[in-house]
Amino acid sequence: MQSSDIDKIKIKRVLISVSDKSGIESLAKTLHQIGCEIISTGGTKKVLESAGLPVTEISKVTGNPEAFGGRMKTISFQIESALLFDREKDAKEAASLNIEPIDMVICNLYPFERVKKQGADFDTLIENIDIGGPTMVRAAAKNFKYVAIVTNPRTYPDIVEELKANDGSLSYHTRFELMRAAYNATADYDAMIATTMDETAGVLSQRMSYSQAIELRYGENSHQSAFFLKQNGTSDSLYDMNVLHGKELSFNNLVDMYSAIDSVRDLKKSGCAVIKHNNPCGLSEGADQRKVFEQAWAGDPVSAFGSVIAFNRKLELETAKFLDLDNENKMLRKFVEVIIAPEFDQNTLDYLFQNKNLRVVEFDPARLTTDKDVKFLYNSILVQNPDDKLKDKAETVTQAQMKVDDNLLDFGLIACRQLKSNSIAIVRKLKNGDNQLLGMGCGQPNRVNSTQLAISRSIENLKLEFTGSESEVNAYIQQEMGEAILVSDAFFPFPDNIELAGAAGIKKIFQPGGSIRDKSVIAKCDELGIAMMFTGLRHFKH
């Protein structure tokens, strides 16, 4: 922004033409009280006159009536000139043309987006394309040095306050900020119309705009700069989280937070996800939140160090105490980067705030809804529908049969869906009825490696939890692995994964199916006495 000799301008003449009339009476009354002439159109004029305000009909300025069902109201040489002429260089010419300046425009546009969401037909959409409004907005914005352009009703209270405090004047800074908002408003408006017309033609186009940039300390690595922005036109986003405590959020924190929230949002019971490097190394759901947290943490206690943790229910004090933040032995305090939950009571917050660096974020995973999954590549984007369906079927394809626990299967599919491909999740139902991610393998270039990782992690966890004699541990592992289920995000291309699973004691496997070698994979299951079901849907996550 460049400095200007014209810091404040007196608002003497204002044009008001709004589709959204919320709050307009209060602003208009303030303008009247400071001595402004108010020019207005159609429905807006009626609202203002009903409030007892004197209004100049716009036709008295344009010299023409409103015409063509309201399609022509403000577009005219007189109006656009009153907005656009340079008050210093063009003053004499404007006077010779009988152009009286307009110092402020208050305008919001026809509700094209709203009528579209209401399912309006094509003709109705066309009628809700505003022409005169954007023309006025852009003209006033271009000449912001002398004209204030107000496009958002949420700014009305601040405008009123400044006008009252400055004897009916607005500062250059305010006018500049209003100008920026105006051009963003018309850009988003035109983008919505353009994409809708493309959609009507059966052509996909995507226009997105972002603002309110927050500069982060750095990006994924310290030599990278990074910013966090909110998509314009959205009523809710991760940007709108409530950060209650702790250090500034980092780029990696935010990426992991999204994965954590996404991991628990579809869980039916009280759920907890422990995220490390964008993957759930721990996941559990059940009735007792403290127990669920413990079970999720036990999924990989080593990786849980420095993790991001999300809950899908209000965080209870007893659950938070599992972190041991007040332990006199600091080495026994559990270090995590971020705790996310839909709600916290004050006692829980007081406990968490003992760690001055712990980021505490209020965000309800139920808010996380999207109709598009977008990935940015070099000067291009990929757009797809979200992966919001778990399975098409549960079809047993082996000689060995099994009774399906639908809740555990869904839990396993949710876990597998969150893991980077190739992914394997081994999940189990505990004796208390809770579901737990026992072990996972992910992000490997071949499925065998992922299967090996999931098995080794599961066996290590079972060894850690076993409390019997050393001679009995192998039997315990075989028993628990036999009751667990192994879920794969995609089909098995060869029987080698089945051999690994069988050797580890796995007796139940779920996979999408669809490989040209399905028959050999099924045959290996039959040979080893393993039951296998096809779910019909894969869950690649790249």
- Dist. CA 130–CA 301, nearest whole Å: 58
- Listing DSSP states for 398-465 in one string gives SSS-----HHHHHHHHHHHHHSPSS-EEEEEE-TTS-EEEEEEE-S-SSHHHHHHHHHHHHHHHHHHH
Query: Strand, helix or coil at 3?
Result: coil
Contact 116, 125 (CB under 8 A): yes
For 359-371, b/e burial (b = at least 16 CB within 10 A) is bbbbbbbeebeee
- Dist. CA 113–CA 192, nearest whole Å: 7
Contact 278, 308 (CB under 8 A): no
Q: Show the tokens assigned to 388.
A: 């919001």
Q: Show the tokens assigned to 283.
A: 């996941």
Known catalytic residue: 277? yes
- Dist. CA 47–CA 53, nearest whole Å: 9
For 509-541, b/e burial (b = at least 16 CB within 10 A) is bbbbbeeeebeebbebbbebebbbbbbebbbeb
Query: Strand, helix or coil at 488?
Result: strand
- Dist. CA 16–CA 44, nearest whole Å: 7
Spot the catalytic one: 29, 142, 245, 429: 142
Known catalytic residue: 142? yes
Pairing relationship of beta strands 359-362 and 336-341 according to DSSP bridges: parallel
Supply the Cα-derived Rg of the chain in whole angstroms. Answer: 31
Q: Show the tokens assigned to 253.
A: 């924190």
For 331-349, b/e burial (b = at least 16 CB within 10 A) is eeebebbbbbbbebeeebb
- Dist. CA 475–CA 253, nearest whole Å: 40
Spot the catalytic one: 10, 145, 277, 420: 277
Query: Strand, helix or coil at 105?
Result: strand
Q: Show the tokens assigned to 51.
A: 């409030």
- Dist. CA 364–CA 367, nearest whole Å: 6
Contact partners, residue 490, CB within 8 Å, separation at least 6: 421, 422, 447, 511, 512, 538, 539, 540
Residue/partner pairs of 84-87 with CB below 8 Å, 24 or more apart = 84/139, 84/142, 84/143, 85/143, 86/143, 86/146, 87/145, 87/146
Residues forming the active site: 142, 277
